């Protein structure tokens, strides 16, 4: 279906090409969204794809994919059956679908530091009262984490949650 897909897959194995592959998928999406989705999906789920490339692709899946792809990604996240959780969270963020909220909120206290920061951004992309409530509880340090984060990491988490909370509240429609 896509000429040179094998060569694209080889390039996706190297982290130095994450930006180029993201641009390629964006451009292909402007020309032929179904081909872009095919390439993005193929690369995203290929085990040899570099994590940085997969993350970059994940950021675009929401613009390309449908509800079926969202459900597949959410299932991988819930079942913890995909090794690259950062890319899954990035993908869930790109969809901005409130159906991801319960899974993101449940996993958050168990997440690594980097995953926590990514989940905060994902929550900010979802327009729902539950997202605002949970971001507020993160900011107010009402979440107990499995890992012991340093005071500097906690401060960064609070700063990110504050920023996410303000972005969420600015676009939240109270009417």
Choose between 5 and 22: higher pLDDT. Answer: 22
d(CA 135, CA 80): 23
Q: Give pTM, 2 decimals.
A: 0.91
Residue 175, pLDDT > 80, answer no
Nearest Cα neighbor of 24 from 47, 45, 46, 2 is: 2
Q: Which residues of 110-120 are buried (b: 16+ CB within 10 A; e: fewer)?
A: ebeeebbbbbb
Q: Tell me, what's the pLDDT at 2?
A: 66
Residue 140, pLDDT > 80, answer yes
| Predicted confidence band of residue 172 (pLDDT cuts 50, 70, 90) | low
Express each pLDDT in 62-121 by its tens digit. 999 899 999 999 999 999 989 999 999 999 999 999 999 999 999 999 999 999 999 999
d(CA 93, CA 109): 18
CB 47 within 8 A of CB 30: no
CB 69 within 8 A of CB 99: no
Residue 3, pLDDT > 80, answer no
The DSSP result for the chain, as a single string, is --TTHHHHHHHTTSGGGHHHHHHHHHHHHHH-HHHHHHHHHHHHH-TTS-HHHHHHHHHHHHHH--HHHHHHHHHHHHHT-SS-HHHHHHHHHHHT-GGGHHHHHHHGGGS-HHHHHHHHHHHHTS-SHHHHHHHHHHHTT----SS---HHHHHHHHHHHHHHHHHHHHH----
Express each pLDDT in 14-60 by its tens digit. 989 899 999 999 999 999 999 999 999 999 999 999 999 999 999 99
Structure tokens at 168: 């969420």
Q: Tell me, what's the pLDDT at 6?
A: 85
Choose between 12 and 65: higher pLDDT. Answer: 12
């Amino acid at each position: 279906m896509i000429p040179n897909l094998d060569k694209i897959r080889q390039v996706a194995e190297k982290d130095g090409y994450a930006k180029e592959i993201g641009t390629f998928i964006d451009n292909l999406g402007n020309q032929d969204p179904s081909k872009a989705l095919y390439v993005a999906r193929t690369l995203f789920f290929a085990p040899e794809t570099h994590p940085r490339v997969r993350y970059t692709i994940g950021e675009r899946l929401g613009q390309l994919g449908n509800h079926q792809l969202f459900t597949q990604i959410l299932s991988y996240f819930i079942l913890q059956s995909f090794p690259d959780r950062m890319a899954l969270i990035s993908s869930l963020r790109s969809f901005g679908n409130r159906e991801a909220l319960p899974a993101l909120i449940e996993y958050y206290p168990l997440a690594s530091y980097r995953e926590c920061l990514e989940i905060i951004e994902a929550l900010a992309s979802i327009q729902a009262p539950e997202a605002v409530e949970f971001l507020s509880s993160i900011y107010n340090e009402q979440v107990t984490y499995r890992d012991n984060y340093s005071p500097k990491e906690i401060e960064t988490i609070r700063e990110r949650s504050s920023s996410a909370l303000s972005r969420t509240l600015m676009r939240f429609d109270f009417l």
